Every structure is written in structure tokens, then in C-alpha cells.
A and B are shown apart, each in its own frame.
Chain A
Amino acid sequence: MCERQYPDFFPVGCPPSDAKPMEIRVYRLVQGNTITKEDFKSFIEEGRNGSNPKFSFTEYGLSVNLKHEELRNYRRAVPALRKKFKNIAYGITYKDKGVVKSTPSAKQENHYTWWLCKDAEPESDFFIL
């Protein structure tokens, strides 16, 4: 159970104050045929530079999408995503797991960022399509 405690590696001001606890159905790319904790690691946790020039702190959160079709098109557009992620999973962003914020762009109208609480275990709430 999270009481709005976030991982220690989050910088001050992260997650942004306009990110809210919201229960929405979202889609996320996953690597294998079973969902693991690894599928919910941010690129920062993976040791990858993931800054976004448009929105602050998105690299500490996870990309999720409201529309399955839109997410499928990301994978069709970016070869690295196609190679790394074999499946699409869906689940609910339960309020006790973290906060979400709409972070869209021209090609990504339904893109949201989800900042997970410390010790959240979203993998148990997600299912492969």
C-alpha cells in the first residue's frame, strides 16, 4: 500500500504537482509472454537517459496509453520498440499505485505518464492482450 511515498531516486518536485491519482484503463508495452516487474521499470531505473524536452520528470515515470491502436502504432513506427517489446498489456492505474498525467504530443494524443509509488506492484494488475 502506498501512502504517496515515491522512490528515493525521484528528484525534488517529482512527480509534478499536476499529476493526479486517477483510475484509468491503460495499455503498456511488455517484453515477454508473462508480465514481470521489469516491465514497469522506468528507463531511469534501467540506467538510460530518458529526458523529455517537453514535459519535466517523464523519464521517472512510465509511458502508458489510453488507446491500444495508438500504442500499437508506436511499435510499428519505432524499430527499437518492436524489437524490445513483444506484447501489449492492459490494466488499471489504481490510485494507491501512483499518479498519472496526460502528456500528449501531435502523434500521441492519448499518451499518459504514470509515476509509481515506492513498492507499488502494478504487474499483478496487468494482463497481456
Chain B
Amino acid sequence: MEGPNSHMTIDLIGNIYVIDEIIYYDKLLSFSCKNDIGNLFLAICIELDDMEQWLFLPVSEARLIQILRGSITAYKAFEQSEMGFIWKITIHANYNKEGKAEKISFDKLADVDLPDKDILFDVYGEDTFSIKRSKQEKILEQSIKERREIIDISLELEQSHTHEIGAAFLGNVLKGTQDIVNVISHRQGMNASIPKKIKDDNKLIYTGNYAASFGIRLKSNKLADIFNESELQRNLSVLMSLLKAKSNAEEISEITKELNPKVLSHYKNFLNLFQKEDVAINTNLAFPSNKLNNVKLTSEDIAQSIKVLESEINETSKEYSFYGKIVAIDITRNNFKFITDDDDTISGEIDKAVNIEEFLLPKRAKVKLRVTTKISDFNDEEQIEYELLEIDYNL
């Protein structure tokens, strides 16, 4: 029986109701649809003669979502028909109510009757990489309302517009983001362990996905203070500055000069995550202090940044002063052990110019150290060496 609002009526399938329009050109030529009992189909016109020919692919709801999110090409969807067949429909061009259906198998179709192999019907995704201004404003509104920092990271695989991503990669991106924020915050810390307070202050919560190629939304665990500011805001701003600096070595050096020397190697590892998967990134930050920040990095930008970071950090050497306690001096091996007021334990060699006197240990002191960060050519691991340059006991 003919449905009153149906788009087509086909003998073995029934009345057809359009759900999603995919391609309209002078008429609707590809769409998702359902019949009276809710069977779902992907429809595509293959011949525009007086008698039109169409392919109707029967699909489950899950498969239809996969197709419309661009997780599978249209060609593959037909090739891997869940029911093992495809309906071929013949219908009069001027009368959509007397369609005739016949079952055919995929191998009866020539490539000329199918979409090109790389075509995605990703109507649920965003075609453009950029987040539109109105969306940014919504993030800001949310950040102010919740008094929490929000960071949106959109991941785009360069070779396809898929809206799915590997679980291991996603896990690494989440962990990498938290790690780089922590190490930026750990300004004086020289050792691998990040104090609990820094971890707590900078804790990011994964709150879900948002509409993008593959959009991850993170929010601060803590609320901003009464001035709508926080330690996390300062650290996220540093991260954004680093991303914006791209491959400008001078700017990177300026941003990191007051930071923990480990930041450079952690930042390089963070960028490496994206390079390995050939993923471009678009990051939006919103702060309750009514600040918005956006930066986009293409795969090329990421590759160039890594190149600059590698030359910057293969060996860097800087001098830092620390307060704490000298706990061991070995003049036969010419080395020392020092515990900072932040409870970091540092050990290394003593410079020849340092005058070692007799004293009882431990002894409170201010020390000047040369901190040298090296990246191993073999395993890419970071090594930090410390050299004691000055001791001052007169505190």
C-alpha cells in the first residue's frame, strides 16, 4: 500500500522514507532511508534513463552510522553487504510508486555502478578542520559557567576523514597532554617524579568527545579561583605558546628559558605522538577568565617543529640555583648528593673549581648546578647530568 509521505514505493521493500540526504543534484540521488517496518537502507542512483536504476543496500543501524560517520567507504559498504546481497531497483523516472526490486550480489556489479573506492558519505562529520567561531564562543560560555578550563583537541588523520581513532593512540594523546602540562608546571623539579600537589593542581578530566574529525574534550578537575584564574591556566597557556611557536627556535627558547629543562624533550615526545600517526591537530582553549585561544598544526608544522626541537635539545646546558641540603660529598670519586627543598634528589660530579672543605653532613646550602640534558642517539631517551659549580653555606 502506498504511503502518503513516502519518497518511493518499491514492490518487495515497501514505502521508502528519506532519513539523511547525501547527494542532491537536480534531484535526490543518494540518501539513507527506511521502510514502514524500520528496515534501513543506503540508496544510490546508478542510471538516469527513462527507467531509473538504483541500488538499495540493506544495513543495520550500526553499519549506517559507520557509513555516515565516514568510518567506512561507500564502496566497501556495498562490497561487504551485511545481508550478503543488494537490492537493485528499477523505477520510472516520473513515477516513484511502482519500483521493482531484485536481489543481486556484489560480484554482479561493475565498478562503474559503484561510487569511487575512496568516497566517504560522512554526512555526520565536519568537512572542514576548523572549529567555527560560534562553537568557540559556546566553549567559552561553558568554561565561564562551570569555572573550569576547557581544552578541545581535534585530531585529524591526514589520509582520511575518518571519525574513529585507535584506542592506544587516543590513550597516548590523553596521557601525553597531561604529562606535558605537569612537567611545565614542575618548574624547578629536575627528577622524573612530579610532586602530588602539581599533579592535583593540573589534573585534567576527559569529559567526552565533541563534533570534529575526532574531538577530545578535557576539563580542569579543580575550579578556578575567585579571580577566575588558576595554576593550570598558566601552564596551558605555556603549552599553547609552544604550539604557536611552531618551528621558531628563538621563540621556543624564550618560552622555555625559565622552565624545567625536561619540558623540551617532553614536548618533542608529545609532538612525536602525532607525527607517528600522521595526524594534524587543532586545539581550542577556553578559560573562565574569558580568554579563548586557538592553534592549528598541520602534519608539516609538526614535522618542522620536531626537527627544530631535536637540534635544540640534543644537548642543552644551563645553570640553575637550588636551596636544600648537601647530604653527601665523595672527594675520592669527585661526586655529590643534594636534596632540594622540593625533595628532589640530585647527584652528579663536582667541578674542579669548587673548594671542598671539611664539614659535617647533612648541611644546609645554596648550590649552583650546571644541568645538561642529552637525548640518546640510540633509544631517544633523555639523560640529565648535573655538575656542582658553587656551594654557598652562608644562608
In chain A, positions 68-117 with a C-beta closer than 8 Å to chain B are 73-74, 76-84, 103, 105-109, 111
Check if A74 sits within 8 Å of B23, measured CB to CB. yes
Tell me the minimal C-beta distance from B31 to chain A in angstroms. 9
Q: Which of A4-12, A18-26, A57-65 contacts B (4 or more CB under 8 A)?
A: A57-65
Check if B124 sits within 8 Å of A52, measured CB to CB. no
Judge whether A13 is part of the interface by a CB distance below 8 angstroms.
Answer: no
Judge whether A37 is part of the interface by a CB distance below 8 angstroms.
Answer: no
Contacts of A124 in B (CB 8 A): none
Counted as pairs of residues, one from A and one from B, with CB atoms less than 8 Å apart, the total is 107
Interface mask (B19-49 → A, CB under 8 Å = 1, otherwise 0)? 0111111111110000000000000111110
Judge whether B393 is part of the interface by a CB distance below 8 angstroms.
Answer: no
Contacts of A76 in B (CB 8 A): 115-116, 119
Select A49's contact among B18, B25, B44, B95, beta carbons within 8 Å: B95
Check if B30 sits within 8 Å of A77, measured CB to CB. yes
Check if A107 sits within 8 Å of B121, measured CB to CB. yes
Chain A residue nearest to B112 (CB atoms) is A79
Check if A106 sits within 8 Å of B93, measured CB to CB. no
Select B25's contact among A47, A81, A83, A106, beta carbons within 8 Å: A81
Contacts of A103 in B (CB 8 A): 24
Judge whether B122 is part of the interface by a CB distance below 8 angstroms.
Answer: yes
B: number of interface residues (CB 8 Å): 37
22 contacts across the A-B interface (CB closer than 8 A): A42-B26, A47-B93, A48-B27, A54-B21, A63-B24, A74-B23, A74-B25, A76-B115, A77-B23, A78-B23, A78-B25, A78-B30, A78-B115, A79-B47, A79-B113, A79-B114, A80-B29, A80-B46, A80-B53, A103-B24, A105-B22, A107-B121
Judge whether B245 is part of the interface by a CB distance below 8 angstroms.
Answer: no
Judge whether B96 is part of the interface by a CB distance below 8 angstroms.
Answer: yes
Known pairs A48-B48, A83-B48, A103-B24 / 15 extra A-B pairs, C-beta < 8 Å: A48-B93, A49-B93, A49-B95, A50-B27, A77-B74, A77-B121, A80-B45, A80-B46, A80-B48, A81-B23, A105-B22, A106-B20, A106-B124, A107-B122, A107-B123
Contacts of A73 in B (CB 8 A): 119
Contacts of B46 in A (CB 8 A): 79-80, 83
Check if A63 sits within 8 Å of B47, measured CB to CB. no
Give Cα A50 to B44, complex, Å.
14
Given contacts A48-B94, A107-B123, A107-B127, contact A81 B24 (CB under 8 A): no
Check if A49 sits within 8 Å of B94, measured CB to CB. yes
Tell me the minimal C-beta distance from B127 to chain A in angstroms. 6
Tell me the minimal C-beta distance from A60 to chain B in angstroms. 10
Chain A residue nearest to B91 (CB atoms) is A49
Contacts of A83 in B (CB 8 A): 46-48, 112
User: Which of A62, A103, A106 has most B Cβ within 10 Å?
Assistant: A106
Q: Which 6 A-B pairs have the closest CB atoms?
A: A50-B27, A106-B123, A80-B45, A76-B116, A79-B46, A48-B93
Given contacts A47-B93, A106-B124, contact A78 B29 (CB under 8 A): yes
